Amino acid sequence: MSIKETIDFRKQVIEDVLEVYPEKAKKNRRQHLAVKDSECSSCAVKSNAKTVPGIMTARGCAYAGAKGVVWGPVKDVVHISHGPVGCGYYSWGNRRNLADGEIGVDNFVPFLFTSDFQESDIIYGGDKKLEKIISEVVGLFPNAKGVSVLSECPVGLIGDDIESVARRTSLEHGLPVIPVRCEGFRGISQSLGHHIANDAIRDHLLGKGPAREVGKYDIGIIGDYNIGGDAWASKKILEEMGLKVVNIWTGDSTMEMLQNGHLVKLNLIHCFRSMNYIAKHMEDTYGTPWMEFNFFGPTKIKESILKIAAQFDESILEKALAVIAKYEPLMQKMIDTYRPRLDGKSVMLYVGGLRPRHIVGAYEDLGMEVIGTGYEFAHKEDYEKTLPALKEGTLIYDDVTALELEEFVMKLKPDLVGSGIKEKYVFEKMGLPFRQMHSWDYSGPYHGYEGFPIFARDMDMAINSPTWKSIKAPWTK
């Protein structure tokens, strides 16, 4: 097919899939689907809008964005899931944000702390209970550097005043208690939860840490949650470049890192969607500059290393070039190994904050092509950042419904689908190779020079697994 034919075909695929919806839903969903074409007028998909009720969405809620994504990985803070037991239970130990520390002493990441609301708490309010809970936390975990209170739906609905409980208990116990108003009904996806979590850091922690001299090479990583050790892989490159990573937000992070996030020469932002708010705030308030970077795949890593080095002096550039020279042969070896097995294979992605665009380059390093991509909870500027990374004819889908994604995949026939746990087994049942691209499918890291060989191996394993060949029984027609 020519590019024009491809574009027309894929536009028709969109029209076909919409047929199933009732009128109102159809009208809504049409605005979220597009094909990148030369004019690109049609590829401005609508985003950050309410999900159509009754249709299978992959989206979560504000609590998921605030607790699951932003706060959960901060290791020396006790995070209380405030409300009934479920939200905390379902977000317990399954985001893979690794943290280094003594569990129960200065690392609380693998825990679920909940106020386990009962009916009486709904009727009489949960403030007193919360106050008691915070004092119990302090008694049982005296090394905790702070307590965050992450509200679940009922808390906001019954009119509890967690802010005043936080103020009181903070004074009483002499440690920060941070109220986070991330009830799941707020906003339309995880996205508002990210914003609320950022605002809570801004209002309660940032700028309140112990004074520290800012070294000339001190930098911070913002929006890397250390999934499968990603942040550690990024840190390794940056430190080999001669920079000093003093803060990571929030993978393997500490409260002091949150307090002193502005005390760096430069903030590198990985997941723009979930943490751009605080990066912009640090620039506006403290003059701390920030820039985006991408450590997926050797091409993007090299580009990013050079871009980062350009912010510093010659000595850093020198080391940066040495880092590139050191690792590129290893990366080339990986490409030589895997490219012949993956060249020309196509991928469709549907993920969260940044991966639908950031990871495109890593696939291209392996000779693979991304033919469809989309975000669960992106905003307009995310799609604007995405389009330049995509080829003409790429299908773009926002808050794609399960049914749309299934139809798109059946029509476009990619060799690999990369999305989440809720999607994984649908496609594997279709006989399609799949990788979870939120959790790295229990593998990783995928960032940096350490991550690319693992990424390449995993994609090869998925696509070339002999298991797919056994699906058809010899006696079936």
Partner 1 sequence: METKTKATTAWLNTVEYREKNFAREKLVINPAKACQPLGALLCALGVEGCLPFTHGSQGCTAYFRSTLSRHYREPIAAVSDSMTEDSAVFGGQSNLIEGLKNAYAVYNPKVIAIFTSCMAEVIGDDINAYLGNAREQEAIPQDFPVAQANTPSFKGSHITGYDTMLKGLIDCLATPRQEDKINDRLYVVPGFDTYPANLREYKRLLKMMDAPYTLLPDYSDVVDAPNLGTFELYQKATSISEMNDALNAASYLLCQTYSTPTTSKYLASKAVPFETLSMPIGVAGTDKFIESVAKFTEKDVPEEITMERGRAIDAMTDSHQYIHGKKFALFGDPDVLIGLVSFLLEMGGEPVHIVCTNSTPLFKKAMESLLASSPYGQGATLYAGKDLWHLRSLLVTEPVDMLIGDSHGKWAARDANIPLVRVGFPITDRVNLHRYPIIGYSGVINLITMIVNTFLEDVDRNSPEAYFEMMR
**Looking at beta carbons only, is 287 or 469 nearer to partner 1?**
469
117 or 327: CB nearest partner 1: 117
Annotation says 95 is catalytic: yes
Least distance to partner 1, CB of residue 159, Å: 11
Stretch of residues binding partner 1 (CB under 8 A), selected from 235-243, 259-267, 284-292, 420-428: 420-428
**Which range in 3-11, 133-141, 323-331, 366-374 contacts partner 1 by CB under 8 A?**
133-141
Binding flag, residue 336, partner 1 (CB under 8 A): no
Report yes or no: 160 and 149 within 8 Å, Cβ to Cβ.
no
Distance CA 70, CA 274 (A): 8
Q: Catalytic: which of 29, 95, 438, 447?
A: 95
CA 353/CA 452 separation, integer angstroms: 20
Site for partner 1 in 373-402 (CB under 8 A): 402
Burial 34-61 (b: 16+ CB within 10 A, else e): bbbbeeeeebebbbbeebbeebbbbebb
Q: Should residue 425 be labelled a site residue for partner 1 when binding is judged by CB under 8 A?
A: yes
3-state secondary structure of 91: coil
Q: How far is CA 43 from CA 35, 98, 321, 398, in A?
A: 6, 37, 38, 11
Q: For the purposes of burial, counting CB atoms within 10 Å of the CB of 457, is it exposed (0-12), middle (13-18) or buried (19 or more)?
A: middle
Contact stretch for partner 1 (CB under 8 A) within 1-9, 117-125, 213-221, 452-460: 117-125
Interface pick for partner 1 out of 44, 188, 266, 321 (rule CB under 8 A): 188
Q: State in Å, rounded, how far the first CA of the chain is from the last one.
A: 30
Phi, psi torsion values for 371, nearest 5 degrees: -105, -5
The whole-angstrom separation of Cα 362 and Cα 446 is: 10
Rule CB under 8 A: is residue 440 a binding residue for partner 1?
A: no
- Asked if residue 105 lies in contact with residue 129, where contact means CB atoms within 8 angstroms, the answer is no
Closest CB 439 distance from partner 1, rounded Å: 9
| Residue 207 makes contact with partner 1 by CB under 8 A | no
Distance CA 459, CA 280 (A): 35
- Of residues 59 through 98, those in contact with partner 1 by CB under 8 A are 59-64, 80, 83-87, 89-94
Q: Which residues in the 7-46 window bind partner 1 by CB under 8 A?
A: 20-22, 24-25
Closest approach of Cβ 166 to partner 1, in Å?
A: 16
CB of 454 to partner 1, least distance (A): 19
Closer residue to partner 1, CB minimum distance, 262 or 438: 438
Among 34, 61, 87, 389, the active-site one is 61
Q: Which residues are catalytic?
A: 61, 64, 95, 194
